[in-house]
Structure formats: C-alpha cells, structure tokens
DNA sequence: GAAAAATTTCAGCTTTTTTTGAAATGACTG
DNA sequence: CAGTCATTTCAAAAAAAGCTGAAATTTTTC
C-alpha cells in the first residue's frame, strides 16, 4: 500500500502543540486537540496510522480520540479509492467549526445547568422554609443563562456569511442597537 | 470569637456540587468552582475556616483556591469588625461576573493564540519553501480570532445594563442588523 | 518584640485522567 | 471461509492534577 509519511514543518509542529495546550485549558484532551489541529492544517485526509506516527501516540489512542472528535461532529470519515483504511478530515470553515463547538457545549453544559437551576428553584419554592437569598441568587443566574441561551439560539440560525459581515461592521453595530 | 457554622440546605448543596462539575468541564478546578458557588449564594462574607468545614477540604486547599479566584478577579477580601481573619465574597452581578471570566480567558488564552498565529505566519513567510496550504489555514484561523477578539473588545465596553437590554430585544436585533 | 492567630508554602500522598498494548472484534479479499 | 488487515475495547501502567498536613511565614495583639 502506497503510504505518504507525514513530515511536519516546524511551523506546523508549533501550531499543533499550541492547539493541544489550548485544548487542555478548555477541558479538551490534549491528544484530541492535537489531532484536530493536524487535520485542520493538513491538505488531504489522513489515516489513523499516519496520525500515530506524526503525533507519536498509540493506535488505540487515535481511535478513541477520533471517536471523541466525531461525537462533536468535528471530524468525518472519508474513503480513499483502493485503500480500505478509514481516512479522516475536519471542517474547512473556521466559523462553522466554532459554531459546532458552541452548539455542543451549550447542549452538554449549558442546557443541563438550566435544568438544574429550574429544579433548584422548584424545590426551593415548595420547601417549607423559604430561603429568599439563595432563591434570588439562583434566579439571577437562571435569568442570565436563559437570556444567553436565547440570544445564542438566535445567533445560531444566522448563516456564517452574515455573521462575518456583522463582525466586520465594527462600531456601526452598537450604534444601531443603541439607537433602537 | 463568635462563629457562624454554615449549614447548607439540600438545594444549596445541589447547586454547589453542580457548579463544581461544570467547572471541571471548562478546565476549572472543582474545589475552586465550589468555593465560588458557595460565595455566590451565601448572603454574607465567609472566612476560610467556614469554607473548609462546609466543603470538607483542607485549609491549605482553601487558601490556594481563593488565591486562584482572586487572580481571576472574582473574589475579594473583606474585613469584619473585631475579627482579624480574612473574609471573602464574590460579585453580585452575574453579567459582570461572566464579563470578568471572558476578559480573563481572552487575556490568558485568546491573546497568546493570536500571538502564536502571527509568529507562525511570519515564520512561514520568511521560510524558504512556502507551504501555501498551511499558510492559508493559519490565516483563516487568525482572521477568525482577530474578528472575534475585535467584536468582543467592542462588546466589553458596553455597560452590562445595555447588554441586558439588547439581549431582551430578541428578534429585533438581527432584523436591524440585516437591514443595515 | 514575644506570643498567638492566621495564612501560605510545599513535599509527599491520593485521585483522576490519559495513554498504552495486547486481545477481541469486525471487515474485506481471494 | 480462511487469512489478512483494520479498528475497537479494555485492563493495567503512566502521567497529571488535586489535596493534605506539617512546617514556615506573615500578621496582629498586648
């Protein structure tokens, strides 16, 4: 089987290592983030063995990490003619990529928090001795999360092209909003 | 010394435990997040020993975690008359709290990434063999981060009251922007 | 300025997370 | 369907992160 051995340039290495560190700071496994970085900068799809070599990690680790990335919807399988191994690639569009991450984090972390807050509020309200202070604090938090989730949901439906355009509008955005 | 022993209600416990878990998913130490949650819901300032008791952690752990929270600007010392121990409290306003977290994360994580990307681009450009593809990918990422950082910087200067108001505008926001 | 109180530091221990490699499973080929 | 190649699973090892308690340091009090 013909096999392209991946050889990283210093710049590529630097980027992949940094992305890995970034990942750890955001609760994402270092290897997972590195694989994502590698797929992001590599021009063609890559197979699992190539990843093991270039990142010096075990084959099984690649398997698990890829699954993780797939569960986020960030990596998809592609097939190369005449090669029965799985090849992988990630999204091209950075905005789209971040949107997916945001979506998933909302689903996995914000939504459960909202449910918890609602639960707490309910439990609080039907409890005998009303703890007004805690109730107030939780309510404030709930309002914040609900407002944020709501605003995000709205933003979500806007095509990335429009988002880019709005981002480029600069100061005009706020002026418009303040005027309204 | 008079000492209020903190006794948590089930709802308070539930909230603090959840906040701790949330923390871990965002790369924040569980104890740090729990202390923050406790300070958030508690009506008065709390001293370190009270925290050790209510969260069942070592005094030294409280010390370290409080320092961490202080380094984020989320906790401040207050002094209680006739008590020489440090007492702690966190911010009241949730929007303000999240703004601070965002600010810090930008400073600690986004800004260094931007620097790295600029470095990479530069190194890439003066390198002998131009790797056009990597260059393109890094440029796209850089543009995204710069645009995001820029938009954030703009938003940052808006008072939280205005942010609340904008968030409450709902669909109107996008209609306005699309029209512009 | 010595004693007491409060806080911080840090080496070593514990727990959790991550990684590995061997074995099991699955998938394709002739 | 037997053999090969590819992927996944999972128990154990390694690494990283987190926590503790004793000792050191700092702060306050008298």
Residues A103, A180: Cα–Cα separation, whole Å: 29
Mean of all residue pLDDT scores within chain B: 93
Contact by Cβ (8 Å): A42, A25: no
Do residue B14 and residue A116 have CB atoms under 8 angstroms apart? yes
**Dist. CA A56–CA A8, nearest whole Å:** 12
Q: Using a CB-CB distance cutoff of 8 angstroms, which residues of chain A are in contact with residue B117?
A: 15
Quick: pLDDT tens for A52-61.
999 999 999 9
Query: From the CA of B7, how many Å to the C1' of C4?
Result: 29
Task: Give the number of beta-carbon pairs within 8 Å between A and B.
Answer: 133
Collect the ranges in chain A with pLDDT lower than 50.
1-2
pLDDT at A15: 97
User: Taking a C-beta distance cutoff of 8 angstroms, is the pair B58, B20 a contact?
Assistant: no
Least confident of A95-99, B2-6, B166-170: B2-6
> For tokens 């209510």, what's the residue?
B54
Average pLDDT, integer, range B53-62: 98
Whether B131 sits inside 8 A of A11 (CB atoms) is yes
Contact B167 A150 (CB under 8 A): yes
CA B54 – CA B58 distance, rounded (Å): 11
Q: Do B154 and A170 touch (CB under 8 A)?
A: yes
Closest residue to C9 measured CA to C1′: B60
Kindly identify which residue of chain B lies nearest to residue A9, measuring between CA atoms: B131
pLDDT at B50: 97
pLDDT at residue A2 in the model:
44
Query: Does B25 reach chain A within 8 Å, measured CB to CB?
Result: yes
* Segment B105-123, tens digit of pLDDT: 999 999 999 999 999 999 9
Supply the pLDDT for residue A3. 65
**pLDDT value, residue A178:** 83
Half-sphere exposure (CA, 13 Å, Cβ side) for B52?
11
Q: Write down the pLDDT at residue A56.
A: 97
Of B18, B120, B168, the CB nearest to A14: B120
């Amino acid at each position: 089987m013909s096999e392209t051995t991946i050889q990283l340039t210093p710049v590529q290495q630097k980027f992949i290592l940094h992305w890995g560190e970034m990942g750890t700071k955001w609760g994402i496994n270092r290897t997972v983030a590195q694989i994502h970085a590698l797929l992001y900068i590599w021009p063609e799809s890559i197979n699992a063995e190539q990843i093991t070599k270039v990142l010096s990690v075990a084959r099984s680790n690649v398997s698990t990490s890829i699954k993780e990335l797939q569960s986020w919807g960030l990596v998809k399988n592609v097939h190369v003619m005449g090669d029965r191994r799985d090849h992988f690639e990630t999204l091209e569009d950075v905005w789209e990529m971040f949107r997916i991450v945001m979506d998933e984090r909302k689903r996995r972390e914000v939504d459960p928090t909202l449910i918890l807050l609602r639960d707490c509020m309910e439990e609080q309200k039907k409890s005998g001795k009303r703890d007004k202070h805690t109730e107030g604090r939780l309510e404030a938090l709930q309002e914040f999360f609900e407002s944020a989730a709501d605003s995000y949901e709205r933003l979500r439906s806007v095509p990335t092209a429009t988002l880019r355009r709005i981002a480029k509008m600069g100061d005009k955005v706020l002026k418009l909003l303040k005027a309204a």
